[in-house]
A and B are shown apart, each in its own frame.
Chain A
């Protein structure tokens, strides 16, 4: 965008320094890449997960993370997302090769309370292409919730073999209702 005439050579010498300031507190030395780049902060949300869900470590995109079901492939995770509620619903639809919803379609979705705010309940079935470099898998199902809480979009997503998802749907709804902001 900017038309610049100044080129910096590819070999330069730097001697600039600055004095220590009030922003230079103690630092953690020898932090690993996981420590440097993963959010080690506790999740801003808490919920009462069913006893048959196995808690997993949080990750960059998963504030709360669980495994469920006998196949070992069922997952439930809570994320903070970007975009609009409709964007997130359609991202999930696309993962199951379902047509996109419009605002009217969004209105028709079942509603559920998420953190005291009305959120949409989303379901889909079919071949799941969840990305992240994984091969698509057949016979999967999705049940989940997308809601805007203040300025943030939160999602609770359950994916797994469709029989296992069907068996856990009610527990998922109870879990969503139990979610609250951490103290």
Chain B
């Protein structure tokens, strides 16, 4: 539509620009964000933090259904509120602020502070986007005296395939959780995973996010679950703390040019991996949380835990570690709120405990949270920018007021 036949006299481009940069859109978006923050805070009590954050702010969630439990006198009903996904609301807010708060805003020294503050908020939203896409979190846990070079993902269960040659493990093939986690429903979907460098492919079905592998001799399957070598996967409700879920699924090996081998259960609670011989080569199959190799080793030299008297509330957790890289070593103290930052990784002190919780003389262990996030420090910097912008604006306003009144 041209400006000529548009009753308002604006081109369609101008209309879109006005809409995207307008106060009305900003108000609606901020209201939705406020509502989402409130609903998510309430929902995480029932569904757990991880599941709620994913529901509201995952990039894959274009829209969400917020749930609000109504008070008892209203019949204990749940009000379901459809709304756009938080990630996309924030994306739109970024565009709105960029166009309305920077591009369309009046320019000049008098509003320099506001422009700086808007830039800081844009930086903050950008850091949230980078974090959502790029951040990786896991845990590194070890006993005193042990060395680790690996972090374990919080939630993603994978199937690892390891070839054993002459009794030694070779490189580990990893089948990611995204190929397994959606294998549930009626009818049960079956996924074939092709493994080009191996003499077989694999087939997976009936994934359980939180499971218990039960012996059919001790408890008969009640829902027709397939029994494999006397065992079956009992599907349990998901835990609120998603990281303590124990995943499992049924798996089958499909050798190239031969009949498939009998199915087996891949479970994260198995004490030992499943072993199969294919084309005279020995492989083990193990479901576990995704492991993430560090570029250096970390040795736990000393773990110190202090608690407030007669409570389990930590007063001081401190890990003295040695970072070992290419033969050189560096001693570092990691404390609560004083992480170790190195080569793009941040190691936070997370937990401490003992091998046997009942025995104070048993070996202490420390668990560090490992975070890889290029935007790790961006929120802090963005707040500095916002604070500086507001300071500039308020000082200019104050000086203007003083000048006018003198």
The answer to whether A8 and B178 touch across the interface, beta carbons within 8 angstroms, is yes
Contact in complex: A10, B191 (CB < 8 Å): yes
Contact of A61 among B146, B162, B218, B358 (CB under 8 A): B218
> Does B169 contact A37, Cβ atoms closer than 8 Å?
no
A36's nearest neighbour on chain B, judged by CB, is B270
- Tell me whether B190 is interfacial, beta carbon within 8 Å: yes
Min distance, Cβ B362 to any Cβ of chain A, angstroms: 12
- Counting CB contacts under 8 A, is A108 at the interface? no
Whether the Cβ atoms of A1 and B171 lie closer than 8 Å is no
Whole-angstrom CA separation of A29 from B165 in the bound complex: 12
Categorize the interface residue count of chain A: 35 or more
Q: How far is the CB of B7 from chain A (nearest CB, A)?
A: 37
Residue B220 at the A interface, CB < 8 A? yes
Q: Does B406 contact A (CB under 8 A)?
A: no
Contact B173 A3 (CB under 8 A): no
In the complex, which of the residues B150, B179, B197, B284 contacts A21, with contact meaning CB atoms closer than 8 Å? B150
Partner of A8, one of B191, B272, B282: B191
* Contact A17 B171, beta carbon cutoff 8 Å: yes
Nearest B residue to A40, CB-CB: B271
Shortest CB-to-CB span from A154 to chain B, Å, is 13
Q: Are A18 and B284 in contact (CB under 8 A)?
A: no
A14 near B176: Cβ-Cβ < 8 Å = yes
With contacts A8-B178, A27-B169 known, is A3 near B62, CB below 8 A?
yes
Q: Which residues of the partner chain B approach A61 to less than 8 Å between Cβ atoms?
A: 218
Closest to B276 in A: A30
Q: Does A71 touch B at the CB level, under 8 Å?
A: no
A15 to B176, CA, bound (A): 10
Q: Which residue of A is nearest B264, CB measured?
A: A33
**Taking chain A's interface residues, is the majority helix, strand, or loop, or is none over half, making it mixed?**
loop
**B147 & A22 in contact (Cβ 8 Å cutoff):** yes
CB distance from A42 to the nearest CB of B (A): 13
Q: Could you tell me the distance between the alpha carbons of A17 and B173 in the complex, rounded to whole angstroms?
A: 4
A16 contacts B by Cβ under 8 Å: yes
| Residues in B neighbouring A12, C-beta threshold 8 A | 179, 191-194
Chain B residues closer than 8 Å to A20, beta-carbon distance? 169, 171-172
Residues of B within 8 A of A (CB): 47, 51, 54-55, 58, 60-65, 85, 146-150, 152, 160, 162, 164, 169, 171-176, 178-179, 182, 189-197, 213-215, 218-220, 228-231, 264-265, 267, 269-275, 282, 284, 286, 291, 293, 297, 357-358
A–B Cβ pairs within 8 angstroms, 11 of them: A1-B51, A5-B60, A11-B192, A13-B194, A14-B173, A14-B195, A23-B148, A27-B162, A28-B272, A31-B271, A132-B220
Given A14-B194, A36-B270, A38-B271, 6 extra CB contacts under 8 A: A3-B64, A18-B160, A22-B148, A23-B150, A31-B273, A33-B231
- The 8 closest A-B CB pairs, nearest first, are A31-B272, A133-B220, A21-B150, A33-B229, A13-B194, A36-B270, A16-B174, A28-B272
